[in-house]
Amino acid sequence: MRINGDMPPEKEKEEEEGKTVSLSTQQPQKLVVVGYALTSKKKKSFLQPKLEVLARNKGILFVAIDLNRPLSDQGPFDVILHKLLGKDWCVAIEDYRKRNPEVAVLDPPDAIEHLYNRQSMLKDVTDLNLSGCYGKVCVPRQMVVINDPLSIPHEVSKAGLKLPLVAKPLVVDGTAKSHELFLAYDQCSLSELEPPLVLQEFVNHGGVLFKIYIVGEAIKVVRRFSLPNVTKQELSKVEGIFRFPRVSSAAASADDADLDPSVAELPPHPLLEKLARELRHRLGLRLFNVDMIREHGTKDVFYVIDINYFPGFGKMPDYEHIFTDFLLSLVQSKSGLLGKLKNSRFSFSVIQNGKMSKSQCPCVRAQELQFETNHHFTTFMSHCLSCFVTTQPAQGL
Protein backbone atom coordinates (compact mmCIF):
# COMPACT_ATOMS: atom_id res chain seq x y z
CA MET A 1 0.00 0.00 0.00
CA ARG A 2 1.41 3.38 -0.91
CA ILE A 3 -0.47 6.53 -0.27
CA ASN A 4 2.21 9.09 -0.84
CA GLY A 5 4.77 9.94 -3.53
CA ASP A 6 8.31 8.67 -3.93
CA MET A 7 10.00 6.37 -1.53
CA PRO A 8 13.56 4.97 -1.32
CA PRO A 9 13.89 1.50 -2.96
CA GLU A 10 14.72 -0.26 0.35
CA LYS A 11 11.60 1.21 1.98
CA GLU A 12 9.61 0.17 -1.04
CA LYS A 13 10.83 -3.40 -0.58
CA GLU A 14 9.99 -3.36 3.13
CA GLU A 15 6.57 -2.08 2.38
CA GLU A 16 5.95 -4.76 -0.21
CA GLU A 17 6.92 -7.32 2.39
CA GLY A 18 4.26 -5.83 4.64
CA LYS A 19 6.71 -4.52 7.23
CA THR A 20 5.89 -0.85 6.87
CA VAL A 21 2.85 1.25 6.22
CA SER A 22 2.69 4.66 4.68
CA LEU A 23 0.43 7.08 6.46
CA SER A 24 -0.86 10.40 5.32
CA THR A 25 2.50 12.20 5.68
CA GLN A 26 5.65 11.68 3.63
CA GLN A 27 7.42 9.53 6.27
CA PRO A 28 6.70 5.79 5.89
CA GLN A 29 6.36 4.22 9.34
CA LYS A 30 7.40 0.79 10.47
CA LEU A 31 4.38 -1.23 11.48
CA VAL A 32 4.18 -1.92 15.22
CA VAL A 33 2.83 -5.42 15.71
CA VAL A 34 1.06 -6.03 19.02
CA GLY A 35 0.27 -9.67 19.81
CA TYR A 36 -2.46 -10.17 22.34
CA ALA A 37 -3.49 -13.12 24.50
CA LEU A 38 -6.70 -12.17 26.27
CA THR A 39 -9.91 -13.87 27.32
CA SER A 40 -12.82 -13.28 24.96
CA LYS A 41 -14.44 -11.03 27.60
CA LYS A 42 -11.32 -8.91 27.86
CA LYS A 43 -10.88 -8.81 24.09
CA LYS A 44 -14.42 -7.49 23.74
CA SER A 45 -14.04 -4.79 26.39
CA PHE A 46 -10.53 -3.74 25.37
CA LEU A 47 -10.23 -4.15 21.64
CA GLN A 48 -13.07 -1.83 20.71
CA PRO A 49 -13.35 -0.60 17.11
CA LYS A 50 -12.30 2.93 18.16
CA LEU A 51 -9.02 1.54 19.47
CA GLU A 52 -8.35 -0.66 16.45
CA VAL A 53 -9.11 2.12 13.99
CA LEU A 54 -6.94 4.72 15.71
CA ALA A 55 -4.18 2.15 16.15
CA ARG A 56 -4.24 1.27 12.45
CA ASN A 57 -3.98 4.97 11.58
CA LYS A 58 -0.94 5.24 13.80
CA GLY A 59 0.69 2.14 12.28
CA ILE A 60 -0.18 -0.30 15.07
CA LEU A 61 -1.62 -3.69 14.27
CA PHE A 62 -3.23 -5.98 16.86
CA VAL A 63 -2.77 -9.69 16.16
CA ALA A 64 -4.42 -12.48 18.18
CA ILE A 65 -1.96 -15.01 19.58
CA ASP A 66 -2.97 -18.58 18.79
CA LEU A 67 -2.83 -20.45 22.08
CA ASN A 68 -2.73 -23.78 20.27
CA ARG A 69 0.59 -23.02 18.60
CA PRO A 70 3.99 -22.36 20.15
CA LEU A 71 4.60 -18.66 20.72
CA SER A 72 8.00 -18.92 19.08
CA ASP A 73 6.34 -19.85 15.76
CA GLN A 74 4.25 -16.68 15.82
CA GLY A 75 5.01 -13.04 15.23
CA PRO A 76 7.39 -11.33 15.00
CA PHE A 77 5.87 -9.06 17.61
CA ASP A 78 7.05 -5.73 18.92
CA VAL A 79 4.77 -5.86 21.94
CA ILE A 80 2.75 -8.58 23.65
CA LEU A 81 -0.28 -7.79 25.79
CA HIS A 82 -1.54 -10.62 27.91
CA LYS A 83 -3.93 -11.46 30.72
CA LEU A 84 -4.56 -15.17 30.99
CA LEU A 85 -4.58 -17.43 33.97
CA GLY A 86 -2.91 -20.80 34.33
CA LYS A 87 0.56 -22.15 34.90
CA ASP A 88 1.08 -23.23 31.29
CA TRP A 89 0.59 -19.72 29.97
CA CYS A 90 2.85 -18.20 32.64
CA VAL A 91 5.64 -20.63 31.78
CA ALA A 92 5.22 -20.07 28.04
CA ILE A 93 5.23 -16.27 28.24
CA GLU A 94 8.10 -16.16 30.72
CA ASP A 95 10.16 -18.39 28.47
CA TYR A 96 9.30 -16.26 25.44
CA ARG A 97 10.23 -13.09 27.33
CA LYS A 98 13.65 -14.46 28.17
CA ARG A 99 14.35 -15.61 24.65
CA ASN A 100 13.03 -12.45 23.00
CA PRO A 101 14.36 -9.51 24.98
CA GLU A 102 13.61 -7.16 22.11
CA VAL A 103 9.86 -7.77 22.52
CA ALA A 104 8.07 -5.66 25.14
CA VAL A 105 6.03 -8.24 27.02
CA LEU A 106 3.37 -6.54 29.15
CA ASP A 107 3.88 -7.52 31.85
CA PRO A 108 6.10 -10.13 33.59
CA PRO A 109 3.86 -12.98 34.82
CA ASP A 110 5.38 -13.09 38.31
CA ALA A 111 4.67 -9.37 38.77
CA ILE A 112 1.08 -9.89 37.62
CA GLU A 113 0.72 -12.82 39.99
CA HIS A 114 1.56 -10.53 42.90
CA LEU A 115 -1.79 -8.79 42.31
CA TYR A 116 -3.77 -12.02 42.31
CA ASN A 117 -3.53 -12.25 46.06
CA ARG A 118 -5.27 -9.57 48.11
CA GLN A 119 -2.63 -9.76 50.81
CA SER A 120 0.47 -9.31 48.62
CA MET A 121 -1.36 -6.82 46.38
CA LEU A 122 -1.41 -4.08 49.02
CA LYS A 123 1.95 -4.78 50.58
CA ASP A 124 3.82 -2.30 48.42
CA VAL A 125 1.37 0.44 49.37
CA THR A 126 1.97 -0.28 53.06
CA ASP A 127 5.69 0.24 52.51
CA LEU A 128 5.26 3.57 50.73
CA ASN A 129 6.14 6.88 52.27
CA LEU A 130 4.48 9.65 50.34
CA SER A 131 5.07 12.42 52.84
CA GLY A 132 5.23 15.89 51.36
CA CYS A 133 2.85 14.95 48.55
CA TYR A 134 -0.30 16.73 49.68
CA GLY A 135 -1.82 13.71 51.36
CA LYS A 136 -1.43 10.44 53.14
CA VAL A 137 -2.00 7.06 51.48
CA CYS A 138 -2.81 4.11 53.74
CA VAL A 139 -4.18 0.60 53.48
CA PRO A 140 -7.17 -0.46 55.61
CA ARG A 141 -6.20 -2.69 58.52
CA GLN A 142 -6.72 -6.25 57.45
CA MET A 143 -6.04 -9.86 58.34
CA VAL A 144 -5.91 -13.10 56.40
CA VAL A 145 -7.90 -16.16 57.37
CA ILE A 146 -6.75 -19.37 55.72
CA ASN A 147 -8.94 -21.99 57.38
CA ASP A 148 -11.23 -22.73 60.30
CA PRO A 149 -14.08 -20.22 59.99
CA LEU A 150 -15.09 -20.91 63.59
CA SER A 151 -11.92 -19.24 64.84
CA ILE A 152 -12.58 -15.98 62.95
CA PRO A 153 -14.51 -14.09 65.68
CA HIS A 154 -11.74 -14.76 68.18
CA GLU A 155 -8.94 -13.94 65.70
CA VAL A 156 -10.64 -10.69 64.76
CA SER A 157 -10.99 -9.56 68.35
CA LYS A 158 -7.38 -10.61 69.07
CA ALA A 159 -6.19 -8.52 66.10
CA GLY A 160 -8.33 -5.59 67.29
CA LEU A 161 -10.06 -5.10 63.92
CA LYS A 162 -13.08 -2.81 64.07
CA LEU A 163 -16.49 -3.64 62.62
CA PRO A 164 -17.92 -3.47 60.04
CA LEU A 165 -15.51 -5.62 58.03
CA VAL A 166 -15.35 -6.30 54.33
CA ALA A 167 -14.70 -9.97 53.60
CA LYS A 168 -12.92 -10.58 50.28
CA PRO A 169 -11.74 -13.88 48.78
CA LEU A 170 -7.96 -14.07 49.24
CA VAL A 171 -7.24 -14.98 45.64
CA VAL A 172 -8.46 -12.96 42.67
CA ASP A 173 -8.49 -15.41 39.80
CA GLY A 174 -10.88 -13.83 37.34
CA THR A 175 -13.84 -15.97 38.45
CA ALA A 176 -17.07 -14.35 39.60
CA LYS A 177 -16.59 -16.08 42.96
CA SER A 178 -13.33 -14.25 43.59
CA HIS A 179 -15.25 -10.96 43.40
CA GLU A 180 -17.98 -12.06 45.84
CA LEU A 181 -17.63 -9.62 48.70
CA PHE A 182 -19.49 -9.45 52.01
CA LEU A 183 -20.00 -6.77 54.61
CA ALA A 184 -19.99 -8.16 58.15
CA TYR A 185 -21.73 -6.17 60.88
CA ASP A 186 -21.13 -8.36 63.90
CA GLN A 187 -18.40 -10.61 65.17
CA CYS A 188 -20.35 -13.87 65.64
CA SER A 189 -21.58 -13.95 62.05
CA LEU A 190 -17.99 -13.93 60.80
CA SER A 191 -17.83 -17.69 61.38
CA GLU A 192 -20.31 -18.11 58.49
CA LEU A 193 -17.70 -16.90 56.00
CA GLU A 194 -15.73 -19.22 53.76
CA PRO A 195 -11.94 -18.90 54.01
CA PRO A 196 -9.42 -18.37 52.51
CA LEU A 197 -10.20 -14.68 52.73
CA VAL A 198 -9.07 -11.25 53.73
CA LEU A 199 -11.00 -9.32 56.36
CA GLN A 200 -10.57 -5.62 55.87
CA GLU A 201 -11.86 -2.74 57.98
CA PHE A 202 -14.58 -0.84 56.18
CA VAL A 203 -13.60 2.80 55.74
CA ASN A 204 -16.42 5.34 55.42
CA HIS A 205 -15.75 7.37 52.29
CA GLY A 206 -19.00 9.09 51.31
CA GLY A 207 -19.94 6.58 48.60
CA VAL A 208 -17.40 7.74 46.01
CA LEU A 209 -14.32 5.88 44.88
CA PHE A 210 -11.44 7.07 42.71
CA LYS A 211 -10.18 4.74 40.02
CA ILE A 212 -6.68 5.62 39.01
CA TYR A 213 -5.75 4.04 35.70
CA ILE A 214 -2.06 3.70 34.92
CA VAL A 215 -0.83 3.04 31.40
CA GLY A 216 2.94 3.35 31.40
CA GLU A 217 3.65 6.94 32.39
CA ALA A 218 0.07 8.08 31.85
CA ILE A 219 -2.43 8.46 34.67
CA LYS A 220 -6.16 8.95 34.39
CA VAL A 221 -8.45 9.26 37.37
CA VAL A 222 -12.23 8.86 37.37
CA ARG A 223 -14.92 8.85 40.05
CA ARG A 224 -17.15 5.85 40.55
CA PHE A 225 -20.07 5.17 42.85
CA SER A 226 -19.21 3.03 45.82
CA LEU A 227 -20.75 1.74 49.05
CA PRO A 228 -22.43 4.34 51.29
CA ASN A 229 -21.12 5.15 54.77
CA VAL A 230 -22.10 2.84 57.62
CA THR A 231 -23.29 4.92 60.55
CA LYS A 232 -22.71 4.05 64.20
CA GLN A 233 -26.46 3.73 64.62
CA GLU A 234 -26.74 1.28 61.74
CA LEU A 235 -23.84 -0.72 63.12
CA SER A 236 -25.47 -1.00 66.52
CA LYS A 237 -28.78 -2.17 65.04
CA VAL A 238 -27.78 -4.48 62.19
CA GLU A 239 -26.40 -7.99 62.54
CA GLY A 240 -25.21 -10.55 60.02
CA ILE A 241 -23.17 -10.70 56.86
CA PHE A 242 -24.44 -9.26 53.60
CA ARG A 243 -23.23 -9.90 50.10
CA PHE A 244 -22.88 -6.75 48.01
CA PRO A 245 -22.57 -6.30 44.24
CA ARG A 246 -19.55 -5.04 42.22
CA VAL A 247 -20.80 -1.52 42.67
CA SER A 248 -17.74 0.45 41.58
CA SER A 249 -17.00 -1.67 38.53
CA ALA A 250 -20.31 -0.72 36.88
CA ALA A 251 -19.78 1.39 33.80
CA ALA A 252 -21.76 4.30 35.34
CA SER A 253 -19.36 7.08 36.16
CA ALA A 254 -19.88 9.39 39.12
CA ASP A 255 -17.98 12.14 37.32
CA ASP A 256 -21.11 14.03 36.32
CA ALA A 257 -23.19 13.33 39.42
CA ASP A 258 -24.25 16.06 41.81
CA LEU A 259 -21.97 15.18 44.70
CA ASP A 260 -20.83 16.85 47.91
CA PRO A 261 -17.69 18.69 46.73
CA SER A 262 -15.68 17.57 49.77
CA VAL A 263 -16.37 13.96 48.79
CA ALA A 264 -16.02 14.40 45.05
CA GLU A 265 -12.79 16.41 45.00
CA LEU A 266 -10.16 14.38 43.18
CA PRO A 267 -7.01 13.39 45.09
CA PRO A 268 -4.20 15.93 44.49
CA HIS A 269 -2.33 15.28 41.28
CA PRO A 270 1.18 15.33 42.80
CA LEU A 271 0.05 12.60 45.18
CA LEU A 272 -1.25 10.46 42.33
CA GLU A 273 1.90 11.06 40.28
CA LYS A 274 4.09 9.90 43.13
CA LEU A 275 1.86 6.94 43.96
CA ALA A 276 1.81 5.80 40.34
CA ARG A 277 5.56 6.21 39.92
CA GLU A 278 6.32 4.29 43.10
CA LEU A 279 3.89 1.48 42.35
CA ARG A 280 5.01 1.14 38.74
CA HIS A 281 8.51 0.69 40.00
CA ARG A 282 7.79 -1.52 43.01
CA LEU A 283 5.27 -3.74 41.25
CA GLY A 284 7.23 -3.88 37.98
CA LEU A 285 3.98 -3.34 36.06
CA ARG A 286 2.87 -0.87 33.42
CA LEU A 287 -0.85 -1.64 33.07
CA PHE A 288 -2.96 -1.49 36.19
CA ASN A 289 -5.41 0.54 38.19
CA VAL A 290 -5.64 1.49 41.81
CA ASP A 291 -8.95 1.86 43.68
CA MET A 292 -8.66 4.61 46.22
CA ILE A 293 -11.08 6.17 48.71
CA ARG A 294 -10.91 9.30 50.85
CA GLU A 295 -11.66 8.79 54.53
CA HIS A 296 -14.94 10.56 55.16
CA GLY A 297 -14.55 13.83 57.02
CA THR A 298 -10.91 14.29 55.97
CA LYS A 299 -9.42 16.21 53.09
CA ASP A 300 -6.27 14.27 52.50
CA VAL A 301 -6.35 10.83 54.10
CA PHE A 302 -6.67 8.20 51.40
CA TYR A 303 -6.87 4.41 51.43
CA VAL A 304 -5.94 2.05 48.62
CA ILE A 305 -8.38 -0.85 48.74
CA ASP A 306 -7.63 -2.72 45.52
CA ILE A 307 -5.14 -2.91 42.65
CA ASN A 308 -6.12 -4.64 39.40
CA TYR A 309 -3.87 -5.80 36.60
CA PHE A 310 -5.01 -4.85 33.06
CA PRO A 311 -8.38 -3.60 34.31
CA GLY A 312 -11.30 -2.49 32.15
CA PHE A 313 -9.35 0.11 30.18
CA GLY A 314 -12.25 0.27 27.72
CA LYS A 315 -14.10 2.29 30.37
CA MET A 316 -11.27 4.80 30.74
CA PRO A 317 -12.04 8.08 28.95
CA ASP A 318 -9.71 8.60 25.96
CA TYR A 319 -8.24 5.15 26.39
CA GLU A 320 -7.67 4.70 22.68
CA HIS A 321 -5.36 7.75 22.52
CA ILE A 322 -3.57 6.97 25.76
CA PHE A 323 -3.02 3.35 24.80
CA THR A 324 -1.80 3.94 21.26
CA ASP A 325 0.61 6.64 22.45
CA PHE A 326 1.88 4.25 25.06
CA LEU A 327 2.43 1.42 22.56
CA LEU A 328 4.37 3.74 20.26
CA SER A 329 6.46 5.04 23.16
CA LEU A 330 7.40 1.48 24.08
CA VAL A 331 8.82 0.81 20.67
CA GLN A 332 10.69 4.12 20.60
CA SER A 333 12.24 3.78 24.06
CA LYS A 334 13.14 0.16 23.33
CA SER A 335 15.18 1.02 20.25
CA GLY A 336 16.83 3.83 22.22
CA LEU A 337 17.88 1.52 25.02
CA LEU A 338 19.13 -1.23 22.72
CA GLY A 339 21.37 1.27 21.01
CA LYS A 340 22.70 2.50 24.34
CA LEU A 341 23.31 -1.01 25.64
CA LYS A 342 25.17 -2.04 22.51
CA ASN A 343 27.50 0.93 22.77
CA SER A 344 27.94 1.12 26.49
CA ARG A 345 31.05 0.19 28.41
CA PHE A 346 28.70 -1.60 30.76
CA SER A 347 27.37 -4.14 28.26
CA PHE A 348 30.88 -4.69 26.98
CA SER A 349 32.08 -5.68 30.45
CA VAL A 350 29.10 -7.99 30.93
CA ILE A 351 29.72 -9.80 27.70
CA GLN A 352 33.46 -10.01 28.25
CA ASN A 353 33.32 -11.32 31.76
CA GLY A 354 30.15 -13.29 31.49
CA LYS A 355 29.35 -12.10 35.02
CA MET A 356 28.26 -8.90 36.60
CA SER A 357 28.86 -7.73 40.12
CA LYS A 358 25.97 -6.27 42.05
CA SER A 359 27.44 -2.80 42.04
CA GLN A 360 27.34 -2.69 38.26
CA CYS A 361 23.64 -3.36 38.02
CA PRO A 362 21.79 -0.53 36.35
CA CYS A 363 18.45 -1.27 37.93
CA VAL A 364 17.11 -2.57 41.20
CA ARG A 365 15.67 -5.89 40.14
CA ALA A 366 18.65 -6.79 37.99
CA GLN A 367 20.63 -7.01 41.18
CA GLU A 368 19.17 -10.44 41.64
CA LEU A 369 20.66 -11.63 38.36
CA GLN A 370 24.01 -13.26 37.69
CA PHE A 371 25.42 -13.63 34.21
CA GLU A 372 27.18 -16.89 33.72
CA THR A 373 25.94 -17.72 30.26
CA ASN A 374 24.65 -15.91 27.24
CA HIS A 375 21.19 -17.00 28.21
CA HIS A 376 21.52 -15.15 31.51
CA PHE A 377 22.57 -12.06 29.69
CA THR A 378 19.54 -12.33 27.45
CA THR A 379 17.39 -12.61 30.55
CA PHE A 380 18.96 -9.47 31.87
CA MET A 381 18.38 -7.61 28.62
CA SER A 382 14.73 -8.54 28.71
CA HIS A 383 14.44 -7.52 32.33
CA CYS A 384 16.30 -4.30 31.81
CA LEU A 385 14.15 -3.32 28.86
CA SER A 386 11.04 -3.62 30.97
CA CYS A 387 12.71 -1.72 33.79
CA PHE A 388 13.75 0.98 31.42
CA VAL A 389 10.21 1.46 30.33
CA THR A 390 8.71 1.30 33.82
CA THR A 391 11.25 3.42 35.62
CA GLN A 392 13.85 6.06 34.97
CA PRO A 393 16.54 5.43 32.39
CA ALA A 394 18.95 2.96 33.97
CA GLN A 395 21.92 4.42 35.78
CA GLY A 396 25.30 4.08 34.21
CA LEU A 397 24.06 3.69 30.65
Ligand X SMILES: O=P(O)(O)O[C@H]1[C@H](O)[C@@H](O)[C@H](OP(=O)(O)O)[C@@H](OP(=O)(O)O)[C@H]1O
Please give the residue ranges that form the binding site for ligand ATP (CB under 6 A).
Answer: 140, 166, 168, 172, 179, 181, 200, 202-203, 205, 209, 226-227, 246-249, 291, 293, 305-306, 308
Q: What is the sign, positive or negative, of the torsion defined by CA atoms of 36, 38, 43, 48?
A: negative
Applying CB under 6 A, the site for ligand X has a residue count of 12
Q: Is 42 in the site for ligand X (CB under 6 A)?
A: yes
Judged by CB under 6 A, the residue of 149, 153, 174, 268 near ligand X is 174
Distance of closest approach, residue 65 Cβ to ligand ATP, in angstroms: 24
Give whichever of 141 and 340 is closer to ligand ATP, judged by the CB atom.
141
Give the Cα separation of 53 and 61 in Å (integer): 9
- Select from 308, 329, 344, 378 the one that contacts ligand X (CB under 6 A): 308
Picked from ligand ATP, ligand X, none, the partner binding residue 386 (CB below 5 to 8 A depending on kind) is none
User: Contact between 289 and ligand X (CB under 6 A)?
Assistant: yes
Nearer to ligand ATP, 55 or 227 (CB): 227
CA nearest to 308, candidates 320, 322, 292, 324: 292
Q: How far apart are CA 123 and CA 284, in angstroms?
A: 14
CA distances from 188 to 120, 157, 167, 185, 229 (A): 27, 11, 14, 9, 22
- Comparing CB distances to ligand ATP, the nearer of 234 and 372 is 234
Could you say which of 315, 334, 365, 383 contacts ligand X (CB under 6 A)? Answer: 315
Select the binding partner of residue 315 from ligand X, ligand ATP, none (C-beta < 5 to 8 A, by kind).
ligand X
Among 2, 13, 41, 154, binds ligand X (CB under 6 A): 41
CA dihedral 302, 180, 83, 322 (to 10 degrees): -40
Instruction: From the list ligand ATP, ligand X, none, pick the one residue 312 interacts with, judged by a Cβ distance below 5 to 8 Å according to partner type.
Output: ligand X
Nearer to ligand ATP, 34 or 305 (CB): 305
Q: Which positions touch ligand X (CB under 6 A)?
A: 41-42, 45, 83, 174, 211, 249, 289, 308, 311-312, 315
